[in-house]
Amino acid sequence: MIERESWEITSTAEWLEWRRRDITASRVGALFDCHPYLSRDQLAALMRGSSDAGTSSVPDSAAMRRGRILEPAVAAAIAEERPAWVLTKASAYHRLPALRLGATPDYFAESTDPRERGPGIIQIKTVNPQQWDRWQAKPPLVYVLQTLTEMLVTGCEWGWLATMVTSQSYPVHYTAVPRHAPAEERILAAVAQWWAEFDSGALAPAAEAAGLAEALDDGSSIDLSGDNALPGILDEREMLRQSLTMEEARLKEIDYQIKNRIGKARTGWLPGWSISYATSHRKETVIAARDIRTLRIRRLAEQDAVE
């Protein structure tokens, strides 16, 4: 029997600390490489509290703010459209302590529909019309996994994804997420594998954590102000980095859309193209601790550049 526990949320800081100790439902997609904003390495960095977590460590964003503001509006629309449901805003953090797997559902629901027995999960999303079109009118796998994990963690027997499109009429689209034993087994196996790799150090710590050995640098400083070529080189480097960041972000977005279109299939085809999305085995690797030198460059404000 799975041991479950729940902690009433009394402060955001406390809640964030609880989440940092667990794999959470909203991040499970990273274990399956289907999360649009979070990689396995970024997840590891987040759990270490490292700045290397990248954009996923940002506590808020425009999309997150939109979802937070509109969530009660979606709940109100659901109350109008699905009178069989009685929604209750979730106020606790739920977890499976033995598995270090947690979840913070949006809403619990009771239903008068005899097919929906006991409490259920209602996961709320908001999306702009352009993104809904890119999703092909169907929530991507990452959000289905989130809802399924919330049901698993809380023990609820039924769940729905309610997605509001922020067009003029604000429609809400409903996607049923039934309990699915084989999928749950894969989630639990992925979480167990994650913790085995994380705890053993197979997921290598950020470079900053290793420190720098005296043999690699002597702690001195060098005046490069007389190097006439270096300012132009640094300007070019900054331009290239900005260009690469934009291109890499777009490439990830494109790959994410392609993966969602393939779904569970191994291969796909269309005129002029052949696509493979096959499962491959990743061998276990352990990276030995070592000291490395890390190059960091930042442009100084004019007042900082003059002593």
Among 48, 38, 16, 36, smallest CA distance to 203 is for 48
Q: How are strands ordered across the β-sheet holding 101-103? A: 5-8, 92-96, 101-103, 23-24
Mean pLDDT, 10 residues at a time, the chain of 307 residues:
90 90 93 87 82 44 69 90 94 95 95 91 92 85 93 95 89 91 90 91 50 42 75 75 71 79 81 79 59 55 42
> What CATH number does residue 27 fall under?
3.90.320.10
Q: Does residue 213 belong to any structural domain of this protein? A: no
pLDDT of residue 112: 93
| Total domains present in the chain | 1
| pLDDT at site 23 | 95
- 15 in any annotated domain: yes
Cα–Cα distances (Å) from 277 to 259, 265, 269, 271, in that order, read 7, 7, 11, 17
Domain hosting residue 189, numbered range? 5-200
Size (the chain), residues:
307
Is residue 220 in a domain? no
Sheet bearing 158-165, strands edge to edge? 85-89, 107-111, 120-127, 158-165, 172-176
Which of 39, 37, 80 lies closest to 62, judged by CA? 37
Q: Collapsing DSSP states into helix, strand and coil, what is residue 122?
A: strand
Write down the pLDDT at residue 168.
82
User: Does residue 106 lie in a domain region?
Assistant: yes
Residue of 103, 106, 112 lying closest to 72 (CA atoms): 106
DSSP bridge pairs for 174: 162
Instruction: With respect to residue 193, please indicate whether it lies within any of the assigned structural domains.
Output: yes
Number of neighbours of residue 201 by Cβ within 10 angstroms: 12
Residue 283 is predicted with a pLDDT of 65
Structure tokens at 273: 């193209």
pTM for the predicted model, two decimal places? 0.63
Which ranges constitute the DSSP H helices of 116-229?
129-134, 141-154, 181-200, 207-210
Q: Is residue 303 part of a domain?
A: no
Q: Is the residue at 208 inside a domain?
A: no
What the block records as the tokens of 63 is 């999309």
